[in-house]
């Protein structure tokens, strides 16, 4: 029970940050964001149990991994919501989830088309593209304020100090400790409002189709299907990593069943207004650090997440946290995601000109909607949603260039970057 709780503590902030960032970007009220948080925790708990224990030979990797909401989907969801409305966001998500279930087996056989150069570029862009969202939360989309800047800086310093000098629990729970400390500081500065928490119920189920009957715009579906493929690359990398940790590499069947569970998470998320799940890297790291590889421990963590998801007061409490605190924590987490991508790219042979060009061009084109979003403003909605998202455009370019350079036409002699 204690080890399961530790897994929840490690992943909790990352999991709930997704609905907080999405809700703030879409201008949702505090109550609605609280509902998203509860649904997010509930779906994460269900998928975590499925990944740990499995459903026969149908779903679940049967490995000690924890699932949680993926940041990969945030930007495309925002773009779809702005263009077509929130009902389209969750319609596209359901369609992408079905697509994910259908392609899980063939995808598990196509790992050679998603080498570290493609995965690394994608994950790096996930982190870089979301940093702006964190900064917006810190300053409430306004000019820099000295009080907010000082509080955010203090939170970041607490996280860095605990992660660098803390031991055991203090290091692993650094983000959660900083979140609590930052909230207490914000209360002292009168930057909090928890009045709505008292009105929330102690028990309740997430409301299906909260934003109405789902709609299915083609551009939104294509964009979310691309997101699903990116999530698959993330999950595959982490399943292989946990296999190395426990000394038993996952079979192709385990990989495909683990990916199918990600697809199911998107279907459930579309029904209950949540977010697609992926395997959480920090929990893979926790298994490696502690050496506790029991799947039962992770299943207990999933049960705790389900219990939290059924308590509306908890969702309302999280939704009431001040933006400056969530923004500061999210800034560190998004930067860490980018760091994970960079560490993946470190495995790439950049002496090979092909890999050098794939990474450079993919990241360059991916940054266009981040630094100059107006470039796609006059394009049709379909083009804007697919290519106007930094993550989807990076994956498309990296995958295509890798296919052309390393598979379609393989040169007799690899071009090398001049020394």
Q: Determine the pLDDT at residue 300.
A: 93
Q: Closest Cα to residue 226, out of 401, 107, 337?
A: 107
Q: Determine the pLDDT at residue 103.
A: 92
User: Is the CB of residue 380 less than 8 Å from the CB of residue 388?
Assistant: no
Backbone φ, ψ for residue 6 (5° rounding): -60, -40
Domain ranges of the chain: 1-201+211-408
User: Is the CB of residue 12 less than 8 Å from the CB of residue 276?
Assistant: no
First to last CA, the chain: 55
For residue 87, the cross-strand partners are none
What is the spatial distance between Cα 308 and Cα 302, in angstroms, rounded to a whole number? 10
Contact residues for 247 (Cβ-Cβ < 8 A; gap 6+): none
Considering Cα of 67, then 72, then 73, then 78, what sign does the dihedral take?
positive
What is the spatial distance between Cα 12 and Cα 331, in angstroms, rounded to a whole number? 16
Tens-place pLDDT, residues 248-291: 888 888 999 999 999 999 999 999 989 999 887 767 766 776 67
Burial of 258 (0-12, 13-18, 19+ CB in 10 A): buried
Tens-place pLDDT, residues 94-147: 999 999 999 999 988 887 787 888 878 887 887 787 787 778 778 775 566 778
Mean pLDDT of each 10-residue bin along the chain, 419 residues long: 77 78 83 85 93 89 89 83 89 94 89 82 80 78 72 87 79 76 82 65 78 88 86 82 79 91 93 89 70 86 88 70 78 77 86 90 88 79 72 84 81 58
Q: Determine the pLDDT at residue 45.
A: 93
User: Is the CB of residue 263 less than 8 Å from the CB of residue 97?
Assistant: yes
What is the spatial distance between Cα 362 and Cα 345, in angstroms, rounded to a whole number? 13
């Amino acid at each position: 029970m204690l080890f399961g709780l530790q897994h929840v503590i490690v992943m909790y902030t990352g999991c709930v940050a997704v609905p907080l960032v999405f809700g703030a970007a879409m201008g949702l009220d505090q109550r609605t964001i609280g509902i998203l948080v509860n649904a997010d925790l509930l779906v994460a708990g269900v998928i975590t149990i499925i990944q740990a224990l499995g459903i026969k030979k149908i779903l679940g990797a049967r490995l000690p991994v924890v699932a949680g909401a993926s940041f990969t989907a945030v930007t495309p969801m925002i773009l779809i919501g702005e263009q077509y409305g929130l009902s389209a966001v969750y319609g596209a998500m359901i369609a992408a989830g079905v697509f994910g279930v259908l392609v899980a087996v063939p995808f598990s056989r196509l790992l050679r088309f998603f080498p570290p150069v493609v995965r690394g570029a994608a994950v790096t862009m996930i982190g870089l593209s979301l940093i702006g969202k964190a900064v917006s939360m810190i300053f409430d989309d306004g000019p820099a304020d000295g009080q907010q800047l000082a509080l955010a800086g203090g939170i970041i310093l607490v996280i860095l100090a605990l992660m660098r000098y803390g031991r055991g629990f203090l290091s692993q729970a650094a983000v959660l400790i900083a979140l609590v400390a930052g909230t207490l500081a914000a209360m002292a500065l009168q930057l909090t409002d928890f009045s709505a928490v008292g009105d929330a119920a102690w028990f309740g189920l997430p409301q299906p189709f909260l934003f109405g009957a789902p709609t299915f715009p083609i551009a939104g579906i294509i964009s979310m299907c691309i997101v699903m493929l990116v999530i698959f690359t993330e999950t595959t990398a982490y399943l292989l990593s946990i296999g190395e940790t426990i000394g038993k590499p996952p079979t192709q069947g385990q990989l495909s069943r683990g990916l199918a569970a990600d697809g199911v998470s998107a279907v459930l998320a579309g029904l209950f207004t949540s977010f697609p799940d992926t395997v959480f890297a920090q929990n893979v790291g926790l298994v490696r650090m502690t050496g506790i590889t029991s799947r039962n421990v992770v299943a207990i963590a999933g049960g705790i997440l389900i219990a939290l998801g059924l308590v509306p007061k908890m969702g309302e409490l999280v939704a009431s946290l001040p933006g400056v605190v969530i923004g500061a924590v999210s800034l560190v987490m998004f930067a860490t995601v980018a760091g994970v991508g960079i560490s993946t790219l470190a495995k790439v042979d950049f002496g090979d000109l092909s890999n050098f060009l794939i990474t450079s061009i993919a990241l360059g084109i991916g940054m266009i909607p981040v630094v100059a979003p107006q470039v796609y403003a006059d394009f049709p909605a379909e083009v804007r949603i697919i290519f106007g998202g930094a993550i989807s455009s990076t994956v498309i370019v990296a995958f295509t260039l890798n296919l052309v350079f390393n598979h379609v036409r393989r040169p007799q002699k690899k071009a090398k970057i001049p020394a």
